[in-house]
Amino acid sequence: MSQAEVHSIDALRDLRAALAVYGEDVLAALGAADAEIRRTVQWLQQDRPYFWQEQIKRRRERVATAKADLFRLRLQKTPEHHPSLAEPKERLRLAEAALQDAERRLMLTRKWQPALQQAVIEYHGAVQRLKDAASADVPRAMALLTRIVEALEAYLQVQPPDGRGSGIARATPEMESIARDVLDREAAPASPPAPEEAP
C-alpha cells in the first residue's frame, strides 16, 4: 500500500476556502473585462458614427466661414489698403486640418468596428478555459474537498486521532483509503440508468 498521508483536515478546509476566493476573483476579473468590452462596443457602434458625422458637418461649416472671411479680406485689398491675411489664412488652415481629422476619425471608427469584434472573439478564446475552470472545475474541486473533509470527519467521530488535538488528523491507512474512495467515486463515469423492466 502507498504511504498516503492526510496530515490536516484544517489544511483541506483552508484550501477549499482559497479555491472559493480564487473562483470569485476570476469571475470578477472576467466580468469587469466583459463590461469594458460592452461599453467600448456600444460607444464605437452607437456613439462614434453620429459624433463624427456631426463634427464633420460643423467643421465643414467652419471651413466655409474661414474661406468666406479670407475671400472678403482679399476683396477689401486696394493699392492703399493692405489688410493682413496671415490670421484668416491660419484660421482656414486650422479649420481644414480639423475637418480632415474628423474625416479620418470617422474612417477609423468604421475600420475599428469589425476589427474590435475580431479582437473580442480572440479574447474570448483566450479566456474560455479559465472561465470554464472558474464556473465548473473550481466548484467541482471544492465539492470534492468538502466530501473528503466530511468523510474524514465522520471517520474521526468514531476513530479520534491519538492525542493530537482536534482539527489535526495524521494520516492513517484508513484515512488514505477514505480520501481515495472519494476521489475514485468522483473519477468514475456516471453509470447509465438501468433500463425499465417490461411489465
Instruction: Report how far residue 124's alpha carbon sits from residue 121's, in angstroms, rounded to the nearest whole number.
Output: 5
Q: Does 87 bind other proteins (CB under 8 A)?
A: no
**Is residue 98 packed enough to be buried (19+ CB in 10 Å), middle (13-18) or exposed (0-12)?**
middle
* Residue count of the chain: 199
For the bound state, the minimum distance from the C-beta of residue 57 to other proteins, rounded and expressed in Å, comes to: 14
Closest by Cα among 171, 143, 147 to 159: 171
Nearer to other proteins, 3 or 191 (CB): 3
Number of residues this chain uses to bind other proteins (CB under 8 A): 62
Question: Binding segment for other proteins among 39-47, 68-76, 86-94, 158-166 (CB under 8 A)?
Answer: 39-47
8 strand-pairing partners = 168
Indicate whether 180 belongs to the interface with other proteins (CB under 8 A): yes
User: Does position 141 bind other proteins by CB under 8 A?
Assistant: yes
3-state SS string for 116-185 = HHHHHHHHHHHHHHHHHHHHHHHHHHHHHHHHHHHHHHHHHHHCCCCCCCCCECCCCHHHHHHHHHHHHH
How far apart, in whole angstroms, are the C-alpha atoms of residue 176 and residue 3?
8
Task: Indicate whether 146 belongs to the interface with other proteins (CB under 8 A).
Answer: no
- What would the x/- binding string for other proteins be over residues 148 to 167, using CB under 8 A? x-------------------
Residues contributing to the site for other proteins (CB under 8 A): 2-8, 11-12, 14-15, 18-19, 21-22, 25-26, 28-30, 32-33, 35-37, 40, 43-44, 48, 51-52, 55, 101, 105, 108-109, 112, 115-116, 119-120, 122-123, 125-127, 129-130, 133, 137-138, 140-141, 144-145, 148, 171, 176, 179-180, 183, 187
